[in-house]
Amino acid sequence: MDLRLTPTQAAFREEVRAFIEERLPADIRERMRRGHAPRPQDTVRWQRILNERGWAAPHWPKEFGGAGLDTARRLILLEELYRAPAPLPLGFNINLLGTVLLRYGTEEQKTFFCPRLANVDLWFCQGFSEPGAGSDLASLRTRAVRQGEHYVVDGQKIWTTSAHVADWIFALVRTSQESRKQDGISFLLIDMKSPGVTVRPIVSIDGEHHLNEVFFDNVKVPVTNLVGDEGKGWECAKYLLNAERSYIASVGLCWERLEYARHLATTTTQAGKRLIDDPKLAAELAVLGAEIRAHELTNWRFLSDPDIARNKPAYASVLKLKGSELLQETTTLLARLSGTTGLERRPAEGDDALHPLAATVPRYFFYRAMSIYGGSSEVQKDILAKTVLG
Ligand SMILES: Cc1cc2nc3c(=O)[nH]c(=O)nc-3n(C[C@H](O)[C@H](O)[C@H](O)COP(=O)(O)OP(=O)(O)OC[C@H]3O[C@@H](n4cnc5c(N)ncnc54)[C@H](O)[C@@H]3O)c2cc1C
């Protein structure tokens, strides 16, 4: 697509492409091409390679180990990672917690945590949602009571991605009861090895274990692990949810999956004919491609114009909503292309993981969740109704 990259941007894209070509381990690329999510060890291995090059934290300033890239180059890096396909830098560390620490963290917190986040020496998970507090997050009830130089935390989180592999969790907790429920919430960093933390797995519809419940029973957390002011955690949470928007549209992921669908349609035959020779399927692939391109242009427009981001926050909702829909359509198409063979396969380790169709059906199921996490589609539509339609 002609996005008219400047010569510097085009050169940067070539530099990233060459780096990925040379350094991305072949086994990680191959698993991901087949549609599998990167395993934790893949994310760690690749992020450390990116970190050596200074690209693990694209939007952080250089003094804290980031790449200090402008928006356009950040997006180019992201899209090249998707295109490869390669694991993205761990979002919980880089986009979410890192972004919040750089704004609200103390010097000690930034100096201690930022290099460890960039190199995934510490893996963080996100403890926001609770039973009864998802879309309505401010209703959360996990309590932290100050006792001297510690908080004592009691309560439960749910849907916590990767809690079973995480070293730490950043959690929203209630430190006081105020009349406005957004007040009295604080942002705490909790070591998962602390006595009283229990993690219980939730296996999702794709048959995989990504999600967990996390229980806190009298967990002692040093006061120095509070980020921002006590009772002002909602501000950090809002900043975090708005912070790094290049990821929200999932454009590169849609392209990569569509390319794989085209590849399968061209290489799979049925009754002696290639699937792509069916004009209906060819048209479907073309329409999806056109829609992803339009989505991509909207994303560039949004990211390259700070005034749009400031004055038209509804853009972010459009990108989240449309990105979820397109990724779901693409993965539905992939599952259809895999036919009954897709149903026979499970994304297990070993040979099966490298079967071309092993991940199509489980990933179809997994991406149903995209219209739920990060703000559900209904909630995005509510925002659009309020801010655009009035
Ligand atoms: C795969 C996955 C990974 C996740 N990872 C994490 C994580 O790492 N950390 C974390 O903290 N959370 C995580 N979540 C939780 C996620 O943020 C919540 O599921 C989400 O916010 C929705 O909350 P809920 O599940 O409580 O559903 P609810 O908020 O109860 O919503 C139920 C239904 O009601 C609809 N609804 C709710 N409010 C409105 C409204 N005002 N108007 C119209 N419709 C409405 C919703 O759209 C939805 O369809 C994850 C979720 C999933 C699925």
Q: Is the CB of 151 under 6 A from ligand 1?
A: no
For ligand 1, whether the C-beta of 373 sits within 6 Å is yes
Please tell me if the CB atom of residue 378 comes closer than 6 angstroms to any atom of ligand 1.
yes
Site to substitute for ligand 1 among 97, 130, 135, most atoms within 8 A of C-beta: 135
Judge whether residue 3 has pLDDT over 80.
no
How far apart CA 170 and CA 125 sit, in angstroms, is 6
Ligand 1 center–CA 41 separation, angstroms: 28
pLDDT tens digits, one per residue of 71-80 = 889 989 999 9
Distance from the first to the final alpha carbon of the chain:
35
| pLDDT, greater one: 338 or 104 | 104
Is 129's C-beta closer than 6 angstroms to any atom of ligand 1?
yes
Query: Catalytic pick from 79, 130, 244, 329?
Result: 244
pLDDT band at 1 (very low <50, low <70, confident <90, very high): very low
142 Cβ inside 6 Å of ligand 1: no
Cα gap 96→99, rounded to integer Å: 5
Distance CA 77, CA 119 (A): 18
Q: Is 265's pLDDT higher than 50?
A: yes
Mean pLDDT of the chain: 91
| pLDDT value at 316 more than 90 | no
* Most confidently predicted of 253-262, 296-305, 348-357: 253-262
Q: Which atom of ligand 1 is nearest to the CA of 131?
A: 26
Q: Is the confidence at residue 304, as pLDDT, over 90?
A: no
Average pLDDT over residues 315-320: 88
Conformational region of residue 343, where left means phi above 0, alpha means psi within -120 to 50, and beta covers everything else: alpha
> What average pLDDT score do residues 295-317 get?
81
178-211 per-position pLDDT tens digit: 999 999 999 999 999 999 999 999 999 988 899 9
The top-scoring range by mean pLDDT among 224-238, 308-322, 348-362 is 224-238
Residue 390 pLDDT greater than 90, yes or no: no
Q: What is the pLDDT of residue 243?
A: 67
User: Which among 239, 304, 231 is positioned nearest to 99, based on CA atoms?
Assistant: 239
Mutation probe of ligand 1 site: the residue of 373, 377, 383, 384 with most atoms within 8 A of C-beta: 373
- Would you say the CB of residue 349 lies under 6 angstroms from ligand 1? no
Q: 274-294: per-residue pLDDT in tens?
A: 999 999 999 999 999 999 999
160 close to ligand 1 (CB < 6 Angstrom)? yes
Residue 203 CB less than 6 A away from ligand 1: no
- HSE at residue 331, side-chain half, CA atoms within 13 A, is 25
pLDDT of residue 249: 87
Residues 159 and 346: their CA atoms lie apart, in Å, by 23
Ligand 1, atom 25, lies closest to the CA of 134
Tell me how far the alpha carbon of residue 135 lies from the centroid of ligand 1, in angstroms. 5
Does the structure show a pLDDT above 90 at 388?
Answer: no
Tell me how far apart the alpha carbons of residues 75 and 117 are, in angstroms, rounded to a whole number: 20
Residue 259 bears catalytic tag: no
What is the pTM (predicted TM-score) of this model?
0.93
Percentage of the residues of the chain whose pLDDT score is greater than 90: 75
Q: Which residue has the CA at smallest separation from atom 22 of ligand 1?
A: 134
Give the helix/strand (H/E) hosting 190: strand 185-191
> Ligand 1: which atom is nearest the Cα of residue 378?
47
What percent of the chain is predicted at pLDDT more than 70?
94
Lowest mean pLDDT among 44-53, 232-241, 307-316: 307-316
Q: What is the pLDDT of residue 357?
A: 73
Determine the atom of ligand 1 nearest the C-alpha atom of 376: 47
Q: Residue 111: CA atoms inside 13 Å, Cβ hemisphere, count?
A: 3
**Banded pLDDT at 309 (limits 50, 70, 90):** low
Residue whose CA lies nearest to ligand 1 atom number 29: 135
* φ and ψ of 337, to 5 deg: -65, -30
Taking the centre of ligand 1 as the mean of its atom positions, its distance from the CA of residue 380, in whole angstroms, is: 12
- pLDDT, one tens digit per residue, over 72-106 is 899 899 999 999 999 999 999 999 999 999 999 99
| pLDDT score, position 344 | 65
